């Protein structure tokens, strides 16, 4: 516990000596708790020494440390790190590490980011973990080509984590595409979607549903493919 507290304390310092000490702890301490706090601390330095240590920490056997290292490297927003992020996406066994790498790839602004993220969007994972990371990467990239994915995954019927990330894409990649985004939100409104994502009903629909269900049940959410009619306009 003392080593964990020491690592946390070192995060408050910005000297080269503190960065070196955190690097040593992140890479060599036998307790994962120390390594994870040290890795978090390295992210604040944004210098060559911390960058080198974070790149090494990406190889840690514990996915929790790898994820923190990827987050730290994402903060550099360096296109030169794109190859590393793509390698993680293609080889790491952890869904969560892959998701972090996808988000970091978008933040890198690399020219190869869009194509790699487009491929990663096809990957299946528990609760869409990877896909949510990919959508976050698209939002950070702010590439108008990602608007199609944003329109698709923002619709009701998709999991909340995907919808939240998709709305970020609409906010970022949708700049300059105001007409398309406005039509999308208008479509949601015409379809009767509450702020919580649940479908609204007209008075006539409501009475018909009451007659069918005998309990005034709500209609089902729309298909996840609801946004497809906007894809052509978004491209």
Per-residue pLDDT reduced to its tens digit, 59-93 = 999 999 999 999 999 999 999 999 999 999 999 99
Residue 147 has pLDDT above 90, yes or no: yes
Tell me if 144 sits within 8 A of 223, measured CB to CB. no
User: Which residue did the predictor score with more confidence, 76 or 232?
Assistant: 76
Q: How many Cβ atoms sit within 10 Å of the Cβ of residue 40?
A: 19
Residue 15 pLDDT level (bands cut at 50, 70, 90):
low
Is the residue at 214 inside a domain? Answer: no
Residue 211 pLDDT level (bands cut at 50, 70, 90):
very low
Residue 109 has pLDDT above 80, yes or no: yes
Is the residue at 104 inside a domain? Answer: no
- Residue 150's pLDDT is 93
Is the residue at 165 inside a domain? Answer: no
**What does the pLDDT average to over 16-33?**
91
- Residue 199's pLDDT is 42
Is the residue at 51 inside a domain? Answer: yes
**Residue-wise pLDDT tens digits, 38-54:** 999 999 888 999 999 99
Is the residue at 23 inside a domain? Answer: yes
Is the residue at 112 inside a domain? Answer: no
Residue 195 has pLDDT above 90, yes or no: no
Average pLDDT across the chain, whole number: 80
Is the residue at 171 inside a domain? Answer: no
- Residue 182's pLDDT is 75
User: Which residue did the predictor score with more confidence, 206 or 167?
Assistant: 167
Report d(CA 152, CA 179) in Å as an integer.
16
Short-list 63, 54, 6, 51, CA closest to 27: 54
Residue 193 pLDDT level (bands cut at 50, 70, 90):
very low
- Please count the structural domains in the chain: 1
**What does the pLDDT average to over 8-32?**
78
**Helices 63-74 and 82-91, packing angle to 10 deg:** 150
Distances (CA, A) of 59 to 42, 70, 83, 92: 15, 10, 15, 10
**What does the pLDDT average to over 161-171?**
94
Residue 10 belongs to what domain range? 1-61
- Residue 14's pLDDT is 55
Is the residue at 118 inside a domain? Answer: no
Residue 118 pLDDT level (bands cut at 50, 70, 90):
very high
Residue 30 pLDDT level (bands cut at 50, 70, 90):
very high
User: What pTM did the predictor assign?
Assistant: 0.75
User: Which residue did the predictor score with more confidence, 235 or 74?
Assistant: 74
Report d(CA 181, CA 28) in Å as an integer.
49
Short-list 62, 59, 43, 60, CA closest to 51: 43
Residue 176 pLDDT level (bands cut at 50, 70, 90):
confident
């Amino acid at each position: 516990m003392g080593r964990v507290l020491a690592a946390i304390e070192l995060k408050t310092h910005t000297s080269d000596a503190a960065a070196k000490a955190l690097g040593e702890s992140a890479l060599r301490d036998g307790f994962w708790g120390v390594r994870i706090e040290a890795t978090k601390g390295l992210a604040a330095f944004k210098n060559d020494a911390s960058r080198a240590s974070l790149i090494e920490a990406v190889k840690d056997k514990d996915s929790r440390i790898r994820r923190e290292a990827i987050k730290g490297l994402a903060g550099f927003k360096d296109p030169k790190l794109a190859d590393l992020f793509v390698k993680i996406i293609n080889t790491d066994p952890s869904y969560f590490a892959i998701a972090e790498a996808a988000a970091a790839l978008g933040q890198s602004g690399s020219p190869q980011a869009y194509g790699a993220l487009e491929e990663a969007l096809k990957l299946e994972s528990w609760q869409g973990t990877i896909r949510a990371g990919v959508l976050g990467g698209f939002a950070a990239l702010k590439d108008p080509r990602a608007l199609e994915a944003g329109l698709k995954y923002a619709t009701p019927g998709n999991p909340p984590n995907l919808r939240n990330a998709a709305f970020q894409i609409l906010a970022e990649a949708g700049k300059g595409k105001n007409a398309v985004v406005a039509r999308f939100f208008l479509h949601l409104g015409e379809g009767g979607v509450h702020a919580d994502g649940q479908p609204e009903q007209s008075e006539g629909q409501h009475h018909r549903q009451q007659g069918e269900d005998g309990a005034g049940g709500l209609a089902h959410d729309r298909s996840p493919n609801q946004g497809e009619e906007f894809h052509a306009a978004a491209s």
